[in-house]
Amino acid sequence: MSSDLNPRTWLSDLSTANGLLTRLPLGGAQDEWDSARATRVYPLIGALVGLIGGGAYWLCQLLSLPTLLSALIAVAATILVTGAFHEDGLADVADGLGGGGDKARKLAIMRDSRIGSFGVIALVLSIALRAAALAALVAAGSVIVSLIVAHAVARGLLPAIMAFLPLARGDGLASGTGRPEARHALSALGFAAIIAFAALGLGGGLLALLAAALGAGSVALLARAQIGGYTGDVLGAAEQGAEIVVLLAVVASL
């Protein structure tokens, strides 16, 4: 049976993607480990992360916590679930690209486990912008829906970057993950679109997709210009850029 039709293969991909993108102990039978193919279900894992963040916000509101505090806890919940996976990439990219020098120097800074001033500033802005956007949405239902869409769509664009942008170096997490086939990148975009349209309607869903493309695309183009392509850190930064811009777009459309 084709992998596109075999349910066990899809379950294997979900388990593989979950193991990479989150810290959730969700096991499952893996007939084969194919991390490149598993990118097609990234939006589904993203939707789960957003749902958990939305649930944290809802619980905080039940406890009558202030809106901004609830929003910060919701963002913290998504960071806890993912182990700050994408935030780490954002900080490394900010330090590497902001630190100057040639390609080799920038890649070396990005690989350094220490965080610099550009990385700290990027993380503070990322958390602040997301929390402020969620706080502006006010209603718990709007927060939950927006978080699901933002996380799903942001991750749905990553396979396209992986499929069409060159690798900046031949080792590291991105290289080990492999390059998704175009059809798997399209599947990820399809899942992201379905989630966006189902949650926000045609107009809102289209706005979210365009906003995510702007956020992730800007990071990808900057990385292509400065280091010649993408790394795992670049993918993390692209996810963060897309997630932030989607939430801001939803707020702006209110």
Distance (Å, whole) CA 95 – CA 119: 5
* Residue 196 predicted with pLDDT over 80: yes
Contact 93, 229 (CB under 8 A): no
Angle between helices 140-156 and 67-82 (to 10 degrees): 30
Domain segments of the chain as ranges: 40-252
Phi/psi region, residue 169 (left: phi>0; alpha: psi -120 to 50; beta: rest), is beta
pTM here is: 0.94
Distance (Å, whole) CA 126 – CA 254: 21
pLDDT tens sequence across 108-120: 999 988 899 999 9
* Residue 226 predicted with pLDDT over 90: yes
pLDDT tens sequence across 121-151: 999 999 999 999 999 998 878 999 999 999 9
Cα angle, residue 32 at apex, residues 79 and 18 outer, rounded to 5° = 10
Residues 6+ positions from 49 with CB-CB distance below 8 Å: 21, 22, 78, 81, 82, 151
Instruction: Give me the DSSP letters along 168-216.
Output: SSSSSHHHHH-PPPHHHHHHHHHHHHHHHHHHHHHHHHHHHHHHHHHHH
pLDDT tens sequence across 29-75: 444 568 899 999 999 999 999 999 999 999 999 999 999 999 999 99
Structure tokens at 193: 């679109």
